[in-house]
């Protein structure tokens, strides 16, 4: 569809704002999962990322791009986060395109939420594949909207390629794939939708062939994070509350209510195509799997929710622009004012702790730290032994992380270290964490 400059410029401005809000966070200390991605995959030769699926931490396509960024720019935080950052900024115009394809109105307002939602800023500056997953899901949404309208070949190919790249990034692309697939199959263009889905499956098999050959299917389908949860049904209410609080963190309650009301109005008035019918298939799939996925896997659905809610009202162009501006200002302020830990884990004082260890510890000295503290320490303190420490050593260093309840006694108990056998000295207290030296 044609776009005039009055429509394009607000999206350009929102995209620039999104980048400006994300850039200052690019150099914050590395978190647990992103440090693990670099240490186990991206810092090694490229075939490692493309073939070794040692854990779900390897978001294959993202790990490969992180590796290339590392080769080009080094191991600075911003360099390792560059692929996630670029994708996180691209979410803004892609949300607008998907909204124009699905609802044909409210696209600028939806893009404003994508630009400033605090959770999206966080994942745009976290070296993981979740913002890339969002991008591919949005492309698939726009493509499926075209497929159900006219069944043309271009959108079929675009859907298949984008879906395959999404799966190659994070296998939980399965959930938006199921939702969008059901939407396409219940429309008169079901044959075109079926072709797109089948082509995507073929491409997924192709891109995963190296992983299946080297690591095996079980590493993907039977890892600890996708095993059935004990007492699954009783845990659902608390899990749902956690998902909502994580996705809407830093968004004022009145804005949250506006999104919910807008979503309900759009659903009742059928202001968007029946794509959300497919969400029932996602729920059924999760009930069959009996898993409680990490809240971050719902990020693509958050964006689709923004698109749906923004389409609820017949906004005039000027009214929508004013609302989008208000959203940007309000969420930028509340997002910056809301302290929060990354869902993927972190040790906020890691750089200060490593300076202490560099001055005090000898090469190879064991450092005891619990997840999620050990990976950032291993990233910033390669001289010491964090990942495979010997807890029986006569000299130990211990790092606590009070953000996760990891006190000194708890850490020592985890490693079966008897504190009575050591003299203990606190080297430095950082408030949220501390570093200790133990000598026997």
User: Is residue 421 domain-shared with residue 312, that is, in the same domain?
Assistant: no
Say yes or no: 370 and 311 in one domain. no
Same domain, 87 and 215: yes
Mean pLDDT of all residues in 71-79: 97
Q: Give the CB-side neighbour count of residue 16, counting CA atoms within 13 A.
A: 6
Pairing label, strands 395-401, 367-368: parallel
Q: What is the mean pLDDT of the segment spanning 283-297?
A: 94
Q: Are 14 and 108 part of one and the same domain? A: yes
What per-residue confidence (pLDDT) applies to 264? 94
Tally the domains of the chain. 2
Q: Which residue has the tokens 């490229």?
A: 46
Domain co-membership, 330 together with 230: yes
Mean pLDDT of 278-291: 94
Residue 284's CB: how many other CB atoms inside 10 A? 12
Residue 293 shares a structural domain with residue 403: no
Task: Give bridge partners of residue 75 from the DSSP assignment.
Answer: none
Q: Is residue 218 part of a domain?
A: yes
Look at residue 344 and tell me if it is in a domain.
no
Taken in order 292, 176, 49, 93, the sign of the CA dihedral is negative
Query: Of 279, 303, 337, at which residue does a domain stop?
Result: 337
Residue 342 domain flag: no
First to last CA, the chain: 73
Tell whether 380 and 330 lie within a shared domain: no
- Residues spanned by the domain of 67: 5-337
Q: Do both 251 and 396 map to the same domain?
A: no
Question: Is the pLDDT confidence value at 359 over 80?
Answer: yes
Q: Cβ atoms within 10 A of the Cβ of 154, count?
A: 11
pLDDT tens column, 151-173: 889 999 999 999 999 999 999 99
Same domain, 212 and 79: yes
Which of 300, 315, 337 terminates a domain? The answer is 337
Q: Is residue 343 part of a domain?
A: no
Average pLDDT, the chain: 94
Q: Is the pLDDT of residue 306 over 60?
A: yes
Q: Calculate mean pLDDT across residues 413-431.
A: 96
Assigned token pair, 98:
């998907």
24 inside domain: yes
Do residue 208 and residue 355 come from a single domain?
no
185-205: pLDDT as tens digits: 999 999 999 999 999 999 999
Q: What is the pLDDT of residue 409?
A: 97
pLDDT at res. 5: 62
CA trace torsion 381, 382, 388, 390 (10° rounding): -70
Cβ within 8 Å of residue 316, ≥6 positions away: none
- Of 305, 337, 369, the last residue of a domain is 337
Sign of CA dihedral 351, 357, 363, 368: negative
Whether 57 maps to a domain, the answer reads yes
Q: Considering the domain boundaries, does residue 62 fall inside one?
A: yes
Residue 230: which pLDDT band, with cuts at 50, 70 and 90? Answer: confident
Q: How many CB atoms lie within 10 A of CB 375?
A: 29
For the chain, give the percent of residues with pLDDT over 90: 88
345 domain-assigned: no
357 and 278 both lie in a single domain = no
For residue 361, count other CB atoms closer than 10 A to its CB: 22
Residues 89, 191, single domain; the answer is yes
């Amino acid at each position: 569809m044609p776009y005039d400059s009055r429509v394009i410029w607000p999206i350009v401005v929102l995209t620039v704002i999104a980048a400006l809000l994300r850039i200052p966070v690019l150099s914050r200390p590395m978190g647990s999962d992103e440090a693990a991605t670099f240490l186990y995959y991206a810092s090694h030769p490229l075939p490692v990322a493309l073939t070794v699926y040692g854990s779900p931490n390897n978001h294959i396509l993202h790990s490969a791009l992180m590796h290339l960024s590392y080769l080009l720019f080094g191991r600075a935080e911003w360099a390792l986060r560059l692929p996630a950052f670029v994708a996180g900024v691209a979410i803004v115009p892609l949300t607008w395109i998907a909204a124009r394809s699905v609802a044909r109105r409210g696209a600028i307002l939806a893009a404003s939420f994508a630009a400033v939602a605090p959770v999206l800023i966080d994942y745009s500056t976290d070296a993981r594949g979740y913002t890339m997953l969002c991008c591919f899901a949005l492309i698939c949404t726009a493509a499926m909207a075209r497929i159900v309208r006219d069944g043309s070949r271009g959108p079929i190919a675009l859907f298949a390629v984008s879906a395959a790249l999404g799966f190659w990034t994070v296998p939980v692309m399965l959930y938006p794939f199921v939702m969008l697939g059901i939407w396409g199959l219940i429309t008169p263009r079901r044959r075109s939708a079926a072709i797109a889905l089948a082509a995507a499956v073929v491409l997924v098999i192709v891109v995963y062939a190296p992983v299946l050959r080297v690591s095996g299917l079980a590493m993907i389908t039977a890892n600890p994070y996708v095993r059935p949860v004990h007492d699954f049904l009783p845990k659902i209410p608390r899990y749902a509350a956690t998902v909502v609080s994580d996705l809407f963190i830093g968004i004022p309650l009145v804005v949250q209510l506006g999104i919910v009301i807008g979503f309900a109005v759009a659903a009742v008035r059928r202001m968007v195509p029946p794509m959300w019918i497919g969400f029932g298939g996602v729920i059924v799939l999760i009930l069959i799997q009996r898993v409680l996925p990490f809240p971050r896997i719902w990020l693509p659905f958050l964006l689709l929710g923004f698109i749906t809610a923004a389409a609820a009202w017949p906004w005039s162009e000027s009214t929508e622009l004013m609302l989008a501006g208000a959203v940007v200002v309000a969420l930028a302020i509340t997002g910056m004012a809301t302290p929060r830990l990354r869902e993927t884990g972190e040790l906020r004082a890691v750089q200060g702790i490593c300076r202490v260890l560099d001055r005090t510890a000898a090469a190879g000295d064991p450092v005891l730290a619990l997840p999620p503290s050990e990976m950032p320490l291993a990233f910033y303190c390669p001289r010491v032994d964090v990942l495979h420490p010997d807890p029986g050593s006569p000299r130990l260093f211990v790092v606590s992380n009070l953000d996760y309840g990891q006190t000194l006694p708890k850490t020592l108990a985890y490693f079966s270290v008897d504190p009575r056998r050591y003299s203990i000295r606190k080297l430095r207290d950082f408030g949220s964490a501390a570093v200790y030296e133990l000598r026997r």
